[in-house]
Structure 1
Amino acid sequence: MEIDIRTAEPAQRRLKPKDESKLVFGKTFSDHMFLMDYQVPKGWNNARIRPYQDLHFDPAAMVLHYGQGIFEGLKAYRCRDGRILLFRPEKNWQRFNRSARRMCMPEVDLDAQAKIFETLLRLDVDWIPHSVGSSLYIRPTMIATEPALGVRPAHQYLYFIITGPVAAYYAEGFNPIKIFVSDEFVRAVRGGVGEAKTMANYAASLYAAETAKKNGFTQVLWLDGIEKQYVEEVGTMNIFFRLDDELVTPPLTGSILPGVTRDSVIELARHWGLKVTERLISITEVIDSIRSGNMKEIFGTGTAAVISPVGELSYKNELFRIQDGSVGEWSQKFYDEIVAIQYGEKDDPFAWVRPVSIG
């Protein structure tokens, strides 16, 4: 793949934040972006890097009418020794293609994605923050751009990547969050597109999420879409429960996102000799375990926040505190280990990190 590169002129350069501690997630973007077009039967073409700019497409672009759009989220980390690392990017690239298949969209070759990322990061390497806890967030996206009305897969697509420096995802930092269990609204059902990282899943979550935030909660914990009894995932995270000395998480049954951090926690737990079970867990079991004291801790996992300890959970207008509401032992251990690997502070026995050549 040949990538046509046009670097930003001085007047097009964006203002870099001076204080990394004041970075806000998703508000600041780097100087450049990657774009590539797809047409049937031509395939992918016109790979290019341009200064960060607005997108222009027809009002009849099919993404606007039928929702063919997917994205990913991953980060680039700057080590103390100057190396730049990606954390398990192959997992994100593979998941992007799984989402594409589910949404009847074209896949992007994994080797091509690797080259694209390396080229873009090399251009905007100065945008990668220097402090541990901060990173460069990377958002690959694909949308259907064919100007046509009619319910069918589009024949034209745009794949683009934007990046931006971020600090911690939650303003609370690494502190326990409060989550609200929704037994009225559902995010996805089995057989639908819940396991794809598509825009529609997030749109479906907004109403309940806004209601929860107005009542002082950080996120919504979703139950299954049929019986509204079995725990599935949190709005931006997978969910884990420590029941005594067993780690339990809902299985990947098609209605929840197969998280990269989720998979990392499971691998780490087994590496440490902990008992890990992927099974259905009902909200009734969760509440009963909190009441009995068997629920030692609850935490969420995701690229943006890594690990999010849960201190309180609200269900049917009753608030339940998990133990004393503080950060749990395992939550802290998983967080410390994953972050240390991401920033090159510890050995990487799983070969999870991928160095980026910036020379």
Structure 2
Amino acid sequence: MKAGIIGCGSIAKFRHAPEYSENPYVDEIVFYDRNMERSRGLAELFGGSMVENVEELFENPGIEVISDCSSNENHHVFSTRALLSGKHVLCEKPISLTVTDAEKILDAQKKSGKKLMVGHNQRFNRAHQKAREIIVSGELGRLLTFKLSFGHKGPEHWGVNKTKSTWFFKKDRSNLGVAGDLGIHKIDLLQYLLDDQVALVSSFQGTLDKVDELGKPIEVCDNIVSNLKMSNGQLGTASFSWTYYGEEDNSTILYFEKGIMKVYDDPDYQIKINNHGGEQVKYELGAMQTNDNQTSTGVIDSFIESIRLDKDPVVTGEDAVASLKVVLAMLKSAENGAVVEV
């Protein structure tokens, strides 16, 4: 297959392009970015080619798959057009900034009959897959409560634009702030692990420390904390931050009738289970991929496999919209000071 990538920032450079290059069923990558120096740089780095106009990707019959790695506000434009031009699409998260725009992408997928997958990569971590297996087995009994955390020092340390003018800090481009950057990953993971949906949220948000290139507080939240209630009744908390200036925290703690499961809470053991009887079970399943530890996510391999074997993607457009609705409810709750139904 020949793959096209729209947007040549860090997510393309460190995740999509390397994983396409390593996939045995992909033999060429074509890059597009409105900043041609970026697309030229990735084409040279990965032995691909570049185009100067995005239309060239859509109109090229040899390109079967497209990764939409553009900034958030453009996903509904590029992913919709790519699908309607007959391409299978892997869209980065969040799928869009609004449910209305996200549904445009879903409508395009239905009309085209092509595959649509969204890059919620936490489902693919070995520890998360093992955690789901343990939950489904019932060996720890019913889940009662949970704690989610995802925070690092901010996108200006990760993105291709390593300054305070990064698009992540702009309301018209990022819109959802840390909730849409980090939070949506953990919401998707939670709903995947529990095979359930968040029903109610109560949140606080703030711009506590980040400033833009003019020294003014950024236009979106750099921290958000929420209380969550699942449809099945479980209660939990979620804390997402761009101001964890020490080590990154990407942990999930689950409290069951018969014990506690801690996922990515220990540097040596990716899952630790403490049973009520005092027994401790530890699993070594490989380190979590982080901004400082760039390993394969498995997302591209899964996407290509869904096309080759004509099966549903692991993360569908509907899954992505379900997570987006929760994030939007979190932000609405913080803005209005009220409990919000998802």
Q: Decide: shared fold, TM above 0.5.
A: no
Q: Give the number of the structure whose residues are more often strand, by fraction.
A: 1
Q: With the length of structure 2 as denominator, give the TM-score of the two structures.
A: 0.26
Task: Answer with 1 or 2: which has the greater Rg.
Answer: 1
Q: Give the number of the structure whose residues are more often helix, by fraction.
A: 2
Q: With the length of structure 1 as denominator, give the TM-score of the two structures.
A: 0.25
